[in-house]
């Protein structure tokens, strides 16, 4: 039996990046050779040299549109709300913290006359909220929202665009596909000039992406579903690729492999994917990937272990810790190829 403890490691609080670097491409890049397990310490700007003419770079163009609000109960107790998905003119699916004592009928008050009533409890701890506002609701939500950062980031982010990729276009995500945060328009232009093609997928990142696996046997874990799309142009680019298919982030990997119907054969469309990629999985589309450094005991860590081997990945993580890499969403980058 594969044990989840094989994907555990000590993650010091001090290495969890609390803010993005001023220069998006200024991060370190750990290059893990997936065949040999060899590790190279590079800079992210070296990606232009590491990718080859004929390679295909596949990126997730989702855009973070969740709202993070701070309010209070009528008693004055503080409440944090992550507004995820609109279901009606004034109703939204949301996560509420603390939420156990807030049951249907309870109200939450915010600034500037904004108010929410809990309509129902939903699956996965989410709740259905109905909002009331003096001004147009979307205007009020946008004005009051803070950047919906992961729970391990404790510093506020003044510029919301730093939690978006430079190519973010399609609304719907609760979190950013953070492996793409390092790319700049200049790097993408240089790659194009070198003959590296780019293609796009869309996967709306859900809040479950931050939740560790709770079962010791990973096969007992219920993978969260995420909506993803793959257009015709991307399917054609994959089929015509003469080099390697390099995905940017676990979300791009998951999308590509979810639509795979054979080696370098892929279909198009839209689906709710529940694909759980872990060691033993045979990749059909990708040859490599860019990724950030992930939390212990997570599906993302298992995915990259499926690509490069668990031992090589855990050794690379220890190398990163020894060389003071920055971890998680605003942290440094890793290329597995």
Euclidean distance between CA atoms 84 and 58, whole angstroms: 26
Distance CA 189, CA 194 (A): 9
Q: What is the DSSP letter of 225?
A: P
pLDDT value of residue 3 = 80
> What are the structural domains, with CATH classification, of the chain?
4-64+159-336 (3.40.1780.10), 67-144 (2.40.10.240)
Question: Does the pLDDT at position 112 exceed 90?
Answer: no
- Residue 204: pLDDT band with limits 50, 70, 90: very high
Top-confidence residue, 288 or 86: 288
Instruction: Count Cβ atoms below 10 Å from residue 34 Cβ, excluding itself.
Output: 18
Kindly give, in sequence order, each residue whose CB lies less than 8 Å from that of residue 194, ignoring residues fewer than 6 positions away.
Answer: 48, 51, 53
CA 66/CA 203 separation, integer angstroms: 14
- Mean pLDDT of all residues belonging to the chain: 93
Mean per-residue pLDDT for 104-125?
A: 91
What whole-number distance in Å separates Cα of residue 130 and Cα of residue 65?
18
Please give the structure tokens belonging to residue 297.
């005991």
pLDDT digits (tens, 9 = 90+) for 164-184: 999 999 999 999 999 999 999
pLDDT at 209 over 80: no
pLDDT more than 70, % of the chain:
95
Give pTM, 2 decimals. Answer: 0.92
End-to-end CA distance of the chain: 28
Q: Are 29 and 44 in contact (CB under 8 A)?
A: yes
For residue range 313-323, list pLDDT tens digits in order. 999 999 999 99
Choice among 149-153, 197-201, 242-246, 325-329 with the minimum mean pLDDT: 149-153
């Amino acid at each position: 039996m594969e044990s989840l403890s094989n994907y555990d490691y000590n993650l010091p609080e001090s290495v969890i990046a609390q803010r993005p670097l001023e220069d998006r491409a200024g991060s370190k890049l750990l290059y893990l050779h997936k065949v040999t397990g060899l590790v190279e310490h590079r800079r992210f700007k070296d990606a232009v040299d590491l990718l080859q003419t004929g390679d295909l770079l596949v990126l997730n163009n989702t855009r973070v549109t969740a709202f993070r609000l701070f309010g209070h109960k009528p008693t004055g107790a503080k409440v944090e709300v992550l507004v995820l998905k609109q279901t009606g003119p004034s109703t939204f699916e949301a996560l509420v913290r603390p939420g156990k004592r807030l049951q249907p009928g309870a109200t939450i008050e915010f600034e500037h006359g904004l108010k929410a009533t809990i309509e129902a409890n939903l699956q996965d701890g989410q709740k259905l909220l109905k909002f009331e506002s003096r001004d147009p609701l979307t205007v009020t939500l946008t004005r009051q929202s803070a950047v919906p950062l992961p729970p391990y980031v404790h510093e506020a982010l003044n510029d919301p665009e730093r939690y978006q990729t430079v190519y973010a276009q399609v609304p719907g995500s609760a979190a950013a596909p953070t492996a793409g945060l390092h790319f700049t328009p200049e790097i993408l232009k240089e790659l194009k000039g070198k003959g590296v093609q780019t293609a796009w997928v869309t996967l709306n990142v859900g809040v479950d992406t931050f939740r560790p696996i709770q079962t010791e046997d990973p096969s007992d874990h219920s993978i969260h579903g995420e909506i993803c799309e793959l257009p015709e142009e991307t399917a054609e680019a994959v089929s015509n690729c003469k080099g390697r298919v390099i995905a940017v982030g676990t979300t791009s990997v998951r999308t590509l492999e979810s639509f795979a119907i054979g080696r370098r054969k892929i279909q198009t469309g839209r689906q709710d994917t529940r694909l759980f990629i872990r060691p033993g999985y045979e990749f059909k589309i990708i040859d490599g990937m860019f990724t950030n450094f992930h939390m212990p005991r997570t599906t993302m860590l298992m995915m990259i272990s499926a690509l490069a081997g668990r031992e090589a990945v855990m050794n690379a993580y220890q190398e990163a810790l020894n060389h003071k890499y920055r971890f998680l969403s605003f942290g440094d980058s890793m290329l597995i190829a």
